Structure 1
């Protein structure tokens, strides 16, 4: 994995070459390509690929190189780890099994896994498949335990959840949950009698002819692969090919490789391109009945069946995901009411700075789909009002070795806003824009295009800070747990100043 010290280092941008699918490229698409290339230069990202559906036409492009060590041009078929966008494939496979009667979204997990449990017996008995898929299952979600590479890896991973703490009751609070999607992957295995990867290929990948999407590179031996990059102390790009590897236990939550062309095909399918894989009713059902709302860098109405459902000021809902692994960061969104889709794949630890501009900010939505974020005008508040939010906030995670760690964030009032500090060093500034909701700025006041919010306990006091979709508990004091100075993205941890 990339060194934590590498995360915010930068390097010179490398040459770019676009490859549009349609040669009659309108001005708005050229604007997007220019924006991507400007972001590569500003954030020093070696390689980027994109896919766009705009006004009934499809465009794909590649810029820069796959690796600083052995440079090859990035193209529409270059493979990237799509990380957590894999969850939407897992959700789609579940919906196929729902359609044929093998699974039911509103039955309990124990209906299919009688021995399933977390540390809370009541919650273990009550949690449903729908809650697993809409990130309201309530148990600790950042569980990265490596349970080996055998065919029993998911069964062993789910068994390891027996000691994982329950943070909130099922169905009540949105909190991004990688572990829950692992449970969904295990339910796919039980329902099909096949390993997760094989079942996903049979249920989803092969029927949709996604030829450049796979869990293992040896399935695509001729493919070009974008290598993850960190940066050395002098700001030079460092290729880290070993960062492509993740445990098999995490495949359901984030294990796929894919290309911009295949990701655009995936977007078209979920826009309703007429493929018979799922009924239109089931496709829509993946975006119905969102669970509890909150924030995951943007404001959310909630999550449907693995899709993040994002409101806009103009009415149409954005259906969104994205993925983050060390050196591989991507964004993905569709707007069914506008027949619009955008996916962007990057191969550097600074990739989130570009995807934040394109997916959390509304630059792309406003220019290409005529939509805008909910308004958020920062305010300064008196110290007396900020006092109700001050305190120490702690999140937990379980690492690849199964060992727990804590992420500690101190929030203190400063200049009418909250200052987020790790070990006394300011990492973020949090100006409020409405009750319990904040923008996330860098210490120098630069907008990170990110939002976060506080969650109240039943007595009305602040109980949690939700940042990056994770819950940080206010003032817990468990003894003897190792501390880290990081936070988490959609799959694996990176350092806290990197909010997107």
Structure 2
């Protein structure tokens, strides 16, 4: 069966971490069912009598318009701007109950959880329990991968900067017991090695699962307990938990699917294999996420979990670069490091799970942070507008993406990129699944299709780098790039941070029989 899994961050045919499918996301972008938007919650700044900046009002209007356009029932927003905090809820937690979203409503944050795993690792680094540049086997002596030489050499840092080189989308459900993560890591021998260790960026959920297992072994505690003791509780994140059983008394955002253009509660989306908790399992609120962002901005009013040196090290010295919906200089210690035309670095993550999609970024040089949590399968469309496009960055931080002007290329140049590209994952049942995309030249661009259906267009803006557009030419706010092999020929398409191997120029990709799968981020 061919399946699509964004982030991060379904194969990410529009966002990364546990991510949703491109095909579904493309369809969802066309949904225009209006959804009632509840009254805004009171802002802390409003309570003090301070006037709300006009930019916050424009942001609220953009969110409300996006919720109506994309059929998103509810959203939680947190913004830190010019020394003030703005937290509010939009819409409803559940279309069946009509309960309003507040700044304390909890959503599953998906792959932003990876940065909590990395922060916990860094606390253990400072205690002398872990070294980023020691091999994984220093902590997991029996660690094995399909390529034995990689298992012997891969370091903790390479796990966290997504350069381990093995297939990243490994989602096997190993149960809900305390041994789930250990069993998951023991299954790494079924995960193929794609690229040489440390040489190529490819978004890697499985690698962060291994990092989570290191935390368990070093602390002697289940991952969730260790993460709470090392990060969540010391920071005072009172609405952040890993298990639904811990949410009694909380306002909880229900997950919604889109049916006939309208949001419908889908309880099955709430299930997550316990083995994926270090990868994308944290449930949190906009208020808690903003507090967490302010910690990583270095605000002195918050508990000091790490030295400034360690905190800043997470945001620097990136591994190999590429694209993950935006261009990346690379990944530091789990943080995506995004260049801007003006110079300041954007530190970014975000995450996706079925029916729960979010964005998270901050700009240290501008003391700005924003997080948005949504409760609909169509959430990635709004998240892309605010976290991949320039609008929010320009409005609040005065920075923008690197310049990208689409160019038309002659057929002779496009021929080097044409062909069928295939990516793989290991699903919840432990079985391999594939996704194939056909790329063909058309009017100076590449058309990406599946089963004869055009899904989007790639317009080149510099060598090997493309802007992804909808079939009608409207923007998706997503960038991707091609990766060349040692012979200089195009070997991979990197889309949503994942690698699609170029297989042939004639074989046509099959259309998946099913497009439903959990997503991971970006």
Q: TM-score range by the shorter chain?
A: over 0.9
Secondary structure at 2:122 match in 1: helix
Q: Pick from 32, 36, 53 the counterpart of residue 14 of structure 1.
A: 36
Partner of 2:380: 352
2:79 corresponds to 1:52: yes
* Residues 273 and 248 of structure 1, relative CA distance in 2, 3 Å threshold: same
* Residues 362 and 277 of structure 1, relative CA distance in 2, 3 Å threshold: same
- What's the CA shift for 1:257? 0.4
Partner of 2:468: 440
Residue segments in structure 1 that go unaligned for 5+ positions in a row: 494-499
1:63–1:73 Cα contact (<8 Å) kept = yes
**Greater RCO (CA < 8 Å, at least 6 residues apart):** 2
**What is the 5 A alignment of 1:409-424?**
409-424=437-452
Larger displacement relative to structure 2 (481-490 or 136-145)? 481-490
Secondary structure at 2:202 match in 1: coil
Partner of 2:492: 464
Superposed CA RMSD in Å reads 2.2
The whole-number CA distance in structure 2 between the counterparts of 1:218 and 1:396 is 33
**TM-score, normalization by structure 1:** 0.95
Deviation string 1:79-138 (CA, Å, 9 cap, x unpaired) is 000000000000000000000011000011111111111111111111110000000111
Deviation string 1:134-174 (CA, Å, 9 cap, x unpaired) is 00111010000001111111110000011210001111000
The whole-number CA distance in structure 1 between the counterparts of 2:350 and 2:414 is 32
Partner of 2:480: 452
2:125 corresponds to 1:112: no
**What is the 5 A alignment of 1:121-270?**
121-233=148-260, 235-270=261-296
Secondary structure at 2:480 match in 1: strand
Partner of 2:400: 372
The whole-number CA distance in structure 2 between the counterparts of 1:485 and 1:462 is 29
The whole-number CA distance in structure 1 between the counterparts of 2:516 and 2:192 is 18
Partner of 1:287: 315
The whole-number CA distance in structure 2 between the counterparts of 1:30 and 1:329 is 22
- What's the CA shift for 1:6? 7.0
The whole-number CA distance in structure 2 between the counterparts of 1:362 and 1:272 is 24
Deviation string 1:215-272 (CA, Å, 9 cap, x unpaired) is 0122231001111111223x22211122111000100000010000000000000000
Partner of 1:82: 109
Larger displacement relative to structure 2 (11-20 or 245-254)? 11-20
The whole-number CA distance in structure 2 between the counterparts of 1:237 and 1:154 is 33
1:138–1:173 Cα contact (<8 Å) kept = yes
- What's the CA shift for 1:387? 0.4
2:304 corresponds to 1:276: yes
1:81–1:256 Cα contact (<8 Å) kept = yes
1:143–1:397 Cα contact (<8 Å) kept = yes
1:47–1:65 Cα contact (<8 Å) kept = yes
The whole-number CA distance in structure 2 between the counterparts of 1:51 and 1:380 is 40
**What is the 5 A alignment of 1:467-482?**
467-475=495-503
* Residues 476 and 278 of structure 1, relative CA distance in 2, 3 Å threshold: farther
2:353 corresponds to 1:325: yes
The whole-number CA distance in structure 2 between the counterparts of 1:25 and 1:469 is 37
Partner of 2:16: none
**TM-score, normalization by structure 2:** 0.91
Residue segments in structure 2 that go unaligned for 5+ positions in a row: 11-19
The whole-number CA distance in structure 2 between the counterparts of 1:163 and 1:122 is 15
The whole-number CA distance in structure 1 between the counterparts of 2:79 and 2:468 is 28
How many aligned residue pairs are there?
A: 491
2:332 corresponds to 1:304: yes
Secondary structure at 1:29 match in 2: helix
Partner of 1:497: none
The whole-number CA distance in structure 1 between the counterparts of 2:262 and 2:382 is 18
1:138–1:170 Cα contact (<8 Å) kept = yes
2:450–2:511 Cα contact (<8 Å) kept = no
Partner of 2:15: none
The whole-number CA distance in structure 2 between the counterparts of 1:362 and 1:398 is 34
* Residues 277 and 236 of structure 1, relative CA distance in 2, 3 Å threshold: same
1:6–1:231 Cα contact (<8 Å) kept = no
- What's the CA shift for 1:490? 9.2
Secondary structure at 1:431 match in 2: strand
Larger displacement relative to structure 2 (373-382 or 2-11)? 2-11
The whole-number CA distance in structure 1 between the counterparts of 2:53 and 2:249 is 33
- What's the CA shift for 1:17? 1.7
Larger displacement relative to structure 2 (22-31 or 296-305)? 22-31
Secondary structure at 1:444 match in 2: coil
* Residues 211 and 331 of structure 1, relative CA distance in 2, 3 Å threshold: same
